[in-house]
């Protein structure tokens, strides 16, 4: 299959590209590198730098590369930022997304898989959350992802698209080659591992007064490798049948609390990882756990790597081999430092 991965230089996109390349597919990445990293794109995938809003450019790329199917992973994805700057989220996630749909229509490409989010559900009324449950986002991030799903639905109906939206829960882990390198970083696991590496003094636990067994929030973590496998299954599923728009939740259906994550990270890294309880972060639902029964039943998806310890161990291994993430530190004479030899992390303070 000739696949275009929009946003393929980011954490989830680049890992998906690896999976597609390993499975023998021909992959082109389209990314503006605003948050992604050119060096995350594994060969022989090709990187085209461009903006989502540039419909003419996107159309040319789809035609020139004779693309058969698209994976769309390019979105602004920080809840807090979306509340501060909703316009950015509507322009990028809705405006940019519709530009992609128009370009696909112009180029005659109708197969699309979209990276959506559990944030479309807002505060769930019940867990595990099923796809038919109420969607009532509580921030512009979730609202813009849901708005784009609406556009997909209508493109499927009006222009014969076969479209699948995958609603992710909490993504974690890494491959040997690609891992999480965000700036700013807001996610729990990478922040915990920064403390393990001595880059920060302690983890902040946002609230210990939630209605959960240990008082901290519970999240459904899924290994990025399992997510990449789901993307491939979904892309394959778009080749069958009539125009359609389908939604699947992707989680492991096993929730872990913030405290359990910190405790597991101590075991995996052998580091102390001091933690302090601070006040709740606004907008955090107490429990977010997915029912992924539909993805298992209809896509044949089976998470293989989503054990808590394995996700942490893989992310820790990547951190040790990429202590500065994707950035290439320069010597004072301007030559890049060779990062091929793993450097151990520095011990955390006692
Ligand atoms: N947390 C801490 N300390 C930290 C960071 C996080 O205690 O330093 C807690 C959070 O309060 C939350 C849990 O760890 O309870 C997980 O937080 P993350 O920021 O790692 O992830 P979220 O659950 O907030 O975000 C995920 C997805 C988003 C999606 C959201 C839906 O990453 O894309 O679920 O609510 F929008």
Residue 330 lies in a domain: no
Domain assignment present for 147: yes
Residue 153 belongs to what domain range?
Answer: 2-321
Instruction: Give the contacts of 176 (CB within 8 A, at least 6 positions apart).
Output: 317, 318, 321
User: Contact, 323 vs 343, CB < 8 A?
Assistant: yes
Distances (CA, A) of 52 to 113, 130, 312: 16, 31, 33
> Does 337 map to a domain?
no
**What pLDDT sits at residue 240?**
72
Helix axes 97-107, 140-159, angle to 10 degrees: 20
**CATH number, domain with residue 158:** 3.40.50.720
CA 33 to CA 50: how far, in whole Å?
8
Give tens-digit pLDDT for 63-85.
Answer: 999 999 999 999 999 888 999 99
Query: In this predicted model, what pLDDT tens digit does every residue of 115-166 receive, in sequence order?
Result: 999 999 999 999 999 999 999 999 999 999 999 999 999 999 999 999 999 9
Residue nearest to atom 27 of ligand 1 (CA): 170
pLDDT for residue 333: 36
Helix (H, G, I), strand (E, B), or coil: what is residue 30?
A: strand
In-domain check, residue 340: no
Q: pLDDT at residue 99 above 90?
A: yes
How far is the C-alpha of 325 from the C-alpha of 303, rounded, in Å?
A: 26
Measure 202 CA to ligand 1 centroid, in angstroms.
17
Q: How many domains does the chain have?
A: 1
How many CA atoms, within 13 angstroms, populate the side-chain half-sphere of residue 33?
Answer: 10
Let me know if residue 193 belongs to a domain: yes
Average pLDDT over residues 235-241: 88
- For the stretch 311-345, pLDDT in tens is 999 999 999 999 889 885 433 333 344 433 333 33
Give the CA-trace dihedral at 52, 55, 61, 62, to 10 degrees.
100
β pairing state of 218-223 and 255-257: antiparallel
Distance separating alpha carbons of residues 216 and 259, to the nearest angstrom: 7
Higher pLDDT, 283 or 202: 202
Kindly give the distance from the C-alpha atom of residue 161 to the centroid of ligand 1, in angstroms, as a whole number.
33
Q: Which of 138, 170, 289 to mutate to test the pocket of ligand 1 (most atoms within 8 A of CB)?
A: 170
- Cβ atoms of residues 328 and 336 within 8 Å: yes
Confidence of residue 30 (pLDDT cuts 50, 70, 90): very high
| Ligand 1 center to 187 CA (angstroms) | 6
Tell me, yes or no, whether 348 lies in a domain.
no
With respect to residue 349, please indicate whether it lies within any of the assigned structural domains. no
Integer Cα distance of 8 and 338 in angstroms = 25
The residue whose CA has the least distance to atom 29 of ligand 1 is 119
Positions annotated as catalytic residues are 141
| Domain presence at residue 278 | yes
Measured in Å, residue 188 CA sits from the centre of ligand 1 at 6
Residue 284's pLDDT band (cuts 50, 70, 90): confident
For residues 222 and 172, the answer to whether their CB atoms sit within 8 Å is yes
Using alpha carbons, select from 34, 19, 25 the residue that is nearest to residue 3. Answer: 25
What pLDDT was estimated at residue 144? 98
Atom of ligand 1 nearest to the CA of 205: 7
Q: How many of the other CB atoms lie within 10 Å of CB of 341?
A: 6
Q: Residues in the chain, how many?
A: 350
Q: What is the pLDDT of residue 328?
A: 56
Residue 350 above 60 pLDDT? no
């Amino acid at each position: 299959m000739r696949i275009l991965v929009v946003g393929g230089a980011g954490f989830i996109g680049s890992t998906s590209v690896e999976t597609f390349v390993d499975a023998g597919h021909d992959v082109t990445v389209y990314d503006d590198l605003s948050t992604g990293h050119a060096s995350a794109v594994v060969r022989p995938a090709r990187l085209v730098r461009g903006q989502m809003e540039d419909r003419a450019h996107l159309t040319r790329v789809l035609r020139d590369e004779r693309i058969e199917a698209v994976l769309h992973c390019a979105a602004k994805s920080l809840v807090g930022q979306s509340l501060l700057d909703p316009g950015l989220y509507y322009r990028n996630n809705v405006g940019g997304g519709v530009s992609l749909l128009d370009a696909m229509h112009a180029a005659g490409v109708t197969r699309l898989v979209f990276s959506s989010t559990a944030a479309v559900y807002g505060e769930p009324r019940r867990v595990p959350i099923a796809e038919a449950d109420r969607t009532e986002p509580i921030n512009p991030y979730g609202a813009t992802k849901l708005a784009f799903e609406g556009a997909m639905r209508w493109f499927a109906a009006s222009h014969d698209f076969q479209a699948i939206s995958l609603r992710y829960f909490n993504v974690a882990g890494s491959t040997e080659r690609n891992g999480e390198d965000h700036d700013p970083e807001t996610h729990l696991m990478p922040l915990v591992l920064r403390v393990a590496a001595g880059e920060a003094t302690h983890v902040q636990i946002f609230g210990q007064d939630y209605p959960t067994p240990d008082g901290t929030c519970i999240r459904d973590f899924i290994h990025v490798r399992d997510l990449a496998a789901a993307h491939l299954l979904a892309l394959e599923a778009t080749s069958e049948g009539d125009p359609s728009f389908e939604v699947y939740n992707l989680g492991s259906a096993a929730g872990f609390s913030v405290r359990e994550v910190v405790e597991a990270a101590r075991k995996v890294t052998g580091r102390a990882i001091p933690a302090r309880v601070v006040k709740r972060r606004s907008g955090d639902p107490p429990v977010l756990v997915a029912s992924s029964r539909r993805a298992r039943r209809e896509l044949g998806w089976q998470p293989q790597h989503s054990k808590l310890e394995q996700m942490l161990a893989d992310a820790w291994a990547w951190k040790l081999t990429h202590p500065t993430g994707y950035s290439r530190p320069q010597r004072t004479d301007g030559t890049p430092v060779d990062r091929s030899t793993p450097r151990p992390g520095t011990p955390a303070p006692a």
